[in-house]
Structure 1
């Protein structure tokens, strides 16, 4: 691996910035680090970065790894520094920066020994950006996309289990967003729009924690529209999959108030979607 001597590296660095070496030598107040350069070899910088990490000084560690990346790109030290830079930025909560650096690493070294780890760090950074369901859920969608690559492309890696957990959580969030919008429409008696949202939860996110309420809301919405058979089917599918659910108890009570009971119509889309649920 090619490395520079301290004097040789300084000379090249200073020439690149238009600052003469003689000028540097004549002015003792110049701090070379303020010019964006580190005079040490990449190996020394890397070890300094690790030492700073161990000491809990993540910002300084990140600065060392970033210096290697800038000064020694496309070298083995540069590759390793990108991995550590992604990690440090993610640990510091600089998730956008971690995603940017991580994706750059994956583009440059798609088949390296650390690709699974970096892909996982990218997914983890997205997952840290997920907000509550009242907010935009783009980060949840990005989490699913990134972590799905971990599961698919690196099935034997140690990161798969947590990647799958992050995917489940992100899917719960996307389903929760659909439910929030659906309830909004239901409260305003915009029934068709509400049904579309609840249907999306049942069909697209069948094994999330939002399905029970979605089926109950479908029962409520169809019943309010006078489409009793679909309301009965929704309640029947809910009862078959979640018989002890309070949502089922409420749906049963609603139908009973109108003199009917849950009854599944096998030709309904709800019945077909119900076959994919946990208790089917």
Structure 2
């Protein structure tokens, strides 16, 4: 009985000790995180971290300025700096969240155009990750298009135009991969629908000649001779020297459709 009481007392003492250590540790963490400091000290610390390229720590320090001095003139600037540092640290979700907060609070700020650009740039940079699907590419495209509409004469708009072309080609490539998979599985109706979307949505893509050839293939399989000739005419007229046009003519010849092909106008 005495041994049991001794064990219980020891366990009770250890429990109190553990609770004391947890509270003490929590106090220390709170003191480290929420310790009030002069704005100049916080800003200098954040800038020093930025110079050392410790972008994650710099972002946290800029956040601290906005947290401790939310009504100061430095708060909006610190938000943007925090977002930039998060972008450099490849913490794109944090950067985007910070930028959206900034735009919600300061929509008319002279720095709003930069915030819009940096948000689109986050989606653009993150869209190339192997595990990403087309969602980020579409958000980046939407963001850069908005910049061109709202700030057409800015430096950001000129850069956005270049990136829009790249994103559209990227999306067209993703569509073509899906289309080829459909055709490999002989799902020609689905392939036809995606090809129609690709041609209509990305008319400047380098993949248009191949897309038109694939449409010819689909039309033949689905039994649409009228559309077959119409699509071949479009391919031959716009890309007369492209190898996809030659392949389409050979395909029609193999399907005993040569007489119709020969009647098609030449460019």
TM over 0.5: same fold? yes
TM superposition outliers: structure 1 runs of 4+ over 3 Å? 30-35, 131-135, 262-265
Q: Distance in 2 between matches of 1:114 and 1:94?
A: 21
- Based on CA coordinates, which of the two structures has the bigger radius of gyration? 2
RMSD: 2.5
1:223 and 2:201 matched: no
Q: Distance in 2 between matches of 1:74 and 1:251?
A: 66
Structure number with higher relative contact order (C-alpha < 8 Å, ≥ 6 residues apart): 1
Aligned residue number for residue 8 of structure 1: none
1:46 and 2:48 matched: no
1:232 and 2:232 matched: no
Contact in 2 for aligned 1:32/1:38 (Cα 8 Å): no
Q: Distance in 2 between matches of 1:214 and 1:119?
A: 34
1:256 and 2:253 matched: yes
Q: Distance in 2 between matches of 1:135 and 1:59?
A: 23
Closer/same/farther in 2, CA of residues 226 and 57 from structure 1, 3 Å limit: same
Closer/same/farther in 2, CA of residues 234 and 166 from structure 1, 3 Å limit: same
Aligned residue number for residue 101 of structure 1: 98
1:246 and 2:225 matched: no
Q: Distance in 1 between matches of 2:60 and 2:102?
A: 17
Closer/same/farther in 2, CA of residues 243 and 34 from structure 1, 3 Å limit: farther
Q: Which protein is richer in helix relative to its size?
A: 2
Structure 1, gaps ≥5 residues long: 1-26, 266-280
Quote the offset at 1:133 in angstroms: 9.0
1:155 and 2:152 matched: yes
Structure 2, gaps ≥5 residues long: 1-23
Q: Using structure 2 for the length normalisation, give the TM-score.
A: 0.80
CA deviation map 1:157-200 (0-9, x unaligned): 21112212222222223222322222222222222221111000
Q: Distance in 2 between matches of 1:131 and 1:231?
A: 36
Aligned residue number for residue 68 of structure 1: 65
| 1:168 match: secondary structure | helix
Aligned residue number for residue 185 of structure 1: 182
Closer/same/farther in 2, CA of residues 263 and 91 from structure 1, 3 Å limit: farther
| 1:128 match: secondary structure | helix
